[in-house]
Structure 1
């Protein structure tokens, strides 16, 4: 991808590598005859689902391509005709879905359309999804729903039947590496490694390229799993993985938590360093509860990312077992992975990959992270599912 020579035009400038999807949505936004009032944007993590959803919302709400002020307001998330759900919880609750349905019934106040964007729509349970069904099927004439999820299979068939699906392409590793180098100033080697380790997830690649501690935590996790030889090792490494994921989650949320607390105290007139009066403790407690929920989700997301990294490592082992060593995600571990590929039959590696997927499902059902990881590591030791 050649370096950009000029700032891209709003609202599509932040959308990268999804030209076909952009053309589809531009066509829909420019001509009401082409509009569908419920969309599902799917694609792998990091492919730009949410970025594209907000660009589409900006194009729908603005009066035309020259209405840049409105577009900036939509992309910033402050326009009154945009309702966005970015849940800080592990799941989207029924109450959150009901509030969206209520908002969807309002006519647009300033723009051409009212747009409802639901990020991570795959976090809806069946009961929550059912709350949206009628609104998706028969929305008001000037209301548009835009759902985002990794794949169509992550949503109920009843939801899928009521939306128009738009699947995003997965970018090439080399393209992601070039983008990360341009955005962050990272060296080409670091950018290439980050893109490879992130498996083309742009946001994760950017973090790995700019955060040496995140790179170190990832490397430590993979090497620790490779050293597991006994049940005692499994218990120790499972605890260490949760500890590292907790550290990672704190690194992501600590600064934001502090900024939110400072902003709240400033808004209610409490000077820095001054003890908050009893009258505002309820507000502070509510903020802290929200932050705890966000921390829980961040930890679960961090453990899920560890599972993704482990899947990439054992996928490398399978590739080596079948004579393919030219496309390893974790080439830095080449010697260890080749030794494992020779020591294990392919069936054992495939059993580990199956158990990693089972562990992901167990965590989605609120299994205790340490116990779920211990169970997974027992399979690494034995090659048999517990």
Structure 2
């Protein structure tokens, strides 16, 4: 089984990577992998890393040798994977990566640095990588992942070879869930379609009843927005649900991280008070955990807005009579009711309203205020409420 088998519906990309690995002189030392959420950007980067380190020269990326397995798992000593749950990758971390890029590989043929969230490099951090991206040592490879070219500053993307992934077909995602995860075909097809081909979300929908129930609640919101009160209530519920989920994840993680930090510092976890130096480290940890919780809440809200926009998209298709498959094909009555409740221009406006809310969240707008404004903007026209 090849490591490239996990790149669903990306035949052109796989052909490029295979050619690069097997053809002398085809290698590029800095890559920018872009594609919509769920297209497999990080999978492509890890698969490429594995093929570069693979022990089999006749079949690079075999998926069986130790180099392939450890590269895909992120545990190969010469493959560094940077993934952050915080808002930005800061300049200090970028400088550390630039220094790491100057070192020779210890076991493999290449020193590979994968930055899964390169779009979260703030400008000083991106600037810190420029020289290393432009003139890396002969055996260093940079793999930067981002949703689009525009998510990185021009000076970074101009130094990279661009590799663009597309949205995989629904059928391909469903086939992966069936073959890899043993999901029943009807559930796999529902999840792939509802997730709009986002592989990670599709797997969660297929395996988690709570995720499916939550999605049903979200796509049921539009027809409940019959006035100011329901709109404000829907915004409050969405923020509260996202906050509770983020707090649950944070609480589960926080205690373990605190114990691990105290162990590293040689401090007594049962002590009533800690020395000043230890308290300083604990404060830094708590601040980082708060940023992670906030990011998790924003990501949860953004996922809900993606589901919400899919209902208006489907209603627009029904209203216009277009022969296009619906994302929410299992909820035809709900989609048709929404299509009757708005004129076509109103449905287009609803999609723009949701898009604006997502932009405001990215710009660190207060989630409740952003969602209240959005829900008010999505209120069903007075003559169509019922």
TM-score, structure 2 normalization: 0.86
| CA 1:248–1:178: 2 relative to 1, 3 Å | farther
Matched, 1:76 2:73: yes
Change (3 A) 1:379 1:24: same
- CA gap of 1:307–1:142, structure 2 versus 1, over 3 A, is same
Q: Distance in 2 between matches of 1:254 and 1:200?
A: 31
Q: How does 1:34-183 map to 2 (within 5 A)?
A: 34-62=26-54, 64-65=56-57, 68-183=65-180
Residue 183 of structure 2: aligned partner: 186
Deviations 1:255-301 (A, max 9, x none): 55555556667778999x96788366666555444333322211111
Q: Secondary structure at the match of 2:358?
A: helix
Q: Counterpart of 1:78 in 2: which secondary structure?
A: coil
Q: Deviations over 1:175-207 (max 9, x none)?
A: 212322333333322222211111011110100
Aligned residues: 374
Residue 25 of structure 1: CA displacement? 1.4
Residue ranges of structure 2 left out of the alignment (5+ in a row): 382-386
Match of 1:29 in 2: 21
Query: 2:8–2:168: 8 Å Cα contact kept in structure 1?
Result: no
Instruction: Measure, in 1, the Cα distance between the counterparts of 2:153 and 2:52.
Output: 27
Task: Select 1:199's aligned residue among 166, 180, 196.
Answer: 196
Higher mean C-alpha displacement, 50-59 vs 175-184: 175-184
Residue 191 of structure 1: SS of its match in structure 2? helix
Q: Distance in 1 between matches of 2:188 and 2:146?
A: 27
Q: 2:274: which partner in 1? A: 278
Work out the CA distance in 2 between the residues paired with 1:79 and 1:181. 29
Q: In the alignment, is the contact (CA less than 8 A) between 2:310 and 2:328 conserved in 1?
A: yes
Q: Calculate the TM-score normalised by the size of structure 1.
A: 0.86
Task: Tell whether the 8 Å contact from 2:111 to 2:139 is kept in structure 1 after alignment.
Answer: yes
Q: Report the RMSD for the aligned CA atoms in angstroms.
A: 2.8
Deviations 1:205-255 (A, max 9, x none): 100111111111111122133201222222111010111222343565555
Distance 1:250 1:176 in 2: 31
Q: Which runs of 5+ in 1 are unaligned?
A: 1-7
Distance 2:321 2:249 in 1: 39
> 2 CA distance for matches of 1:112 and 1:220?
50
Q: Is the 8 A contact 1:152 1:160 kept in 2?
A: yes
Paired position in structure 2 for 1:380 = 378
